[in-house]
Amino acid sequence: MNFKEYLKTKKLSEASESKYFNALSKVIKEGSYDVMKKMSIDELNELLIFVKNSDYDIKGQKMYSTALSHYIDFYSSKLERKSSKKIDKPHNRIVYGAPGTGKSYQLSKEIEVDFPKLIKTKIKNKKTDDKTINYWIATCGEDNDYWNDFHSKNKFAIGWSEIGDLKQFTSLSSINKKLMEEYDYKKNNRTINFFKYMKTNMKKGDIIIIRKGRKNLIEGYGIITGDYEYDSSMPEDFYHTLPVEWKKKESIALDGYSRNLPWVTISYANDELVSLLSKNKYIEKVIETKEAKYEVVDRVTFYDGYTHGQFVGTYKPVPEGDSITYKYIPGPFMKQLVESYKNPNHNFCLIIEEINRAKADRVFGNIFQLLDRDSNGNSEYHIAVSADQEVYLREELEDEYSETLDKLLNEGLYIPNNLYIWATMNSADQGVYPMDSAFKRRWHFEHIGLDQNENEFGEEGKTYGLAYQQESEAEGIENKIIPWNDFRRIINKNLLGNKVSEDRLLAPFFIKENNFQLKEDDFFELDTEVFKNKILMYLFDDVLRHKKKTILFDENIDSFSQLKSTYGKGENIFKSDLFSTEA
């Protein structure tokens, strides 16, 4: 029975027949997943049944049957996957205002609430006899069909027997070349890993855990007892083997496991899986574990000269023994992006401090396109994965997150809805770059007023102030104390009245709490040197550089040196009526 005859037995419409036939033809000719992505789970299952059971002559029938099974697993699990809890704040957000208004402080407070640390299980003790134990998760053929055979022979094995004994090859590239010759594969990056593991990585003493499908069902486990062997007595073409002492042959459902098992033939078992099996006493050797908290927020500060390569990632020279080699070094954006791919049920945030102190559009480069988000917070558009990015993505996602890797390589990079990008921006016009409207419209802007966070400065119930000299006709020069916020409001009122822009005024966090020294139980006084060399210098030399100094200071003071000297003598430096008015 050929494919079209098979379809007629299903009583499908001509349109459906054509859809199935074209899909299968394209899969066979191109190994393409694009057509399958447009099919429903039911349609894919129908296609799988045909490929597995019909007599239709399909080249690579077993390979395509496996590919379809994996693809069905991926998309069915994708439909079941829970999304991260959405934060009721914009995904792309710039908080801006005058220097010292508490922009970073405000974001830090929000982060404590919105981005709890990610808790993961860490294997605490993975060594025995000074040898590190590796834990592997694997399947014994498609759908674990050969589990009984492998168990009875005390072996674990994989196919692709026609490439021959792996011991004859001196490098992975030579194995890969043979693989391509024998099986006409276009890309073998994932398959070649299986041979790398079998020949080099999987060692005596390692534990291999056997899965069935991807629905969190474990069938058994064993301990590897020796090195790789090419054994032609094995069933089918499973000639690449490792000797294993099987410890358990019984099924266990992984209740409480937060993800699906990887669909690739062999991969490293993650700590969560190993810990769960240990806690359930499925793995006989008790493994010490601990709950580790991982930061989900990363920060980067932009500055003049900061580049796209630093932000996203680029190749850099790194020492390797006595020589230098080049390696792709991911930037903060790529690191957070990959973490958000790996942990879709947890939110991540990248904080960009001082986003306008670099040429932001150049730093983002083609990532700029990903900032357009849909109503769910995912990028509306994707961008192609570059060759250097592909290397890094394969290193990070190849095994456990292979379905995500496939999606990225087929569809391109995107920002998922669990990655937030928040930034701070000074509205001051010194040392910053303008942003063009195309870049700005992809962000939600939030202005922080000059006094918006003033009540957040210092400990509640404490007074933070500074000493100054005030001259009056009745009392002469008096030493007075004024609270910090009162002081700066009076200064700001006078500056605003003389057409000084808001971004030049004194904001609450212009100075830090640790610049105040405890004088009495509840009173902290501003350090004299900080007052002279930070506040006075800023007001005299910066804010009033091109304006009359008498806006704030005594008319007899002509230079900053004279200002400091006069203050040091305990004499009045401000104009006589400055602090006689209310803030």
Q: Which of 20, 54, 80 is the last residue of a domain?
A: 80
- Are 438 and 466 in a shared domain? no
- Are 311 and 354 in a shared domain? yes
Rounded CA gap, 408 and 401, in Å? 11
Q: Do the beta carbons of residue 338 and residue 328 sit within 8 Å?
A: no
Place 32 in a pLDDT band, splitting at 50, 70 and 90. very low
- Are 167 and 216 in a shared domain? yes
Asked if residue 86 is part of any domain, the answer here is: no
pLDDT of residue 270 exceeding 80: yes
- Are 274 and 135 in a shared domain? yes
- Are 195 and 222 in a shared domain? yes
From 490, 507, 506, select the one nearest 581 (Cα to Cα): 490
Burial of 221 (C-beta count, 10 Å sphere; 0-12/13-18/19+): buried
**CB environment 245-274: b (16+ within 10 A), e (fewer):** ebebeeebebeeeebbbbbbbbbbbbbbbb
- Are 265 and 150 in a shared domain? yes
pLDDT digits (tens, 9 = 90+) for 376-386: 899 999 999 99
Q: Which residues contact 37 (CB under 8 A, 6 or more apart)?
A: 75
Asked if residue 85 is part of any domain, the answer here is: no
- Are 310 and 430 in a shared domain? yes
pLDDT digits (tens, 9 = 90+) for 501-550: 888 899 999 999 999 998 877 889 999 899 999 999 999 999 998 889 99
pLDDT digits (tens, 9 = 90+) for 367-415: 999 999 998 899 999 999 999 999 899 889 877 787 788 889 989 999 9
Task: Give phi and psi for 337, each to the nearest 5.
Answer: -60, -45
- How far, in Å, are 146, 157, 201, 241 from residue 231 at the CA level? 15, 9, 19, 7
From 465, 519, 513, select the one nearest 488 (Cα to Cα): 465
pLDDT of residue 31 exceeding 50: no
Domain count, the chain: 4
The pLDDT score that the predictor gives to residue 79 is 43
Scan for tokens 């508490």, then name that residue. Answer: 102
List the beta strands (DSSP E) in 302-378: 313-320, 323-330, 348-353
Place 334 in a pLDDT band, splitting at 50, 70 and 90. very high
- Are 248 and 330 in a shared domain? no
The pLDDT score that the predictor gives to residue 484 is 93
Q: Which of 447, 465, 480 is the last residue of a domain?
A: 447
Rounded CA gap, 118 and 105, in Å? 22
- Are 442 and 328 in a shared domain? yes
- Are 262 and 311 in a shared domain? no
Rounded CA gap, 23 and 47, in Å? 9
The pLDDT score that the predictor gives to residue 3 is 45
Q: What angle do CA 280, 281, 282 make, to 5 degrees?
A: 90
pLDDT of residue 249 exceeding 80: yes
Q: Which of 243, 263, 292 is the last residue of a domain?
A: 292
Asked if residue 573 is part of any domain, the answer here is: yes
Q: Which residues contact 211 (CB under 8 A, 6 or more apart)?
A: 137, 138, 139, 144, 217, 218, 219, 261
3-state secondary structure of 249: strand
Asked if residue 501 is part of any domain, the answer here is: yes
Place 84 in a pLDDT band, splitting at 50, 70 and 90. low
The pLDDT score that the predictor gives to residue 459 is 85
Least confident of 70-84, 200-214, 314-328: 70-84
Place 188 in a pLDDT band, splitting at 50, 70 and 90. very low
The pLDDT score that the predictor gives to residue 180 is 82
List the beta strands (DSSP E) in 149-296: 155-158, 207-212, 217-224, 229-230, 240-253, 266-268, 289-294
Q: What percent of the chain has pLDDT over 90?
A: 46
Tokens coding 566: 């006069």
Asked if residue 250 is part of any domain, the answer here is: yes
Asked if residue 524 is part of any domain, the answer here is: yes
Rounded CA gap, 117 and 271, in Å? 17
pTM passes above 0.85 = no
Domain that holds residue 30: 3-80
pLDDT digits (tens, 9 = 90+) for 434-444: 899 999 999 99
CATH number of the domain residue 346 falls in = 3.40.50.300
- Are 130 and 270 in a shared domain? yes
- How far, in Å, are 69, 118, 464 from residue 101 at the CA level? 56, 30, 17
Asked if residue 68 is part of any domain, the answer here is: yes
Asked if residue 67 is part of any domain, the answer here is: yes
Q: Which residues contact 48 (CB under 8 A, 6 or more apart)?
A: 65, 68, 69, 72
From 558, 520, 521, 531, select the one nearest 469 (Cα to Cα): 531
- Are 397 and 477 in a shared domain? no
pLDDT of residue 52 exceeding 90: no
Place 56 in a pLDDT band, splitting at 50, 70 and 90. very low
CATH number of the domain residue 134 falls in = 3.10.590
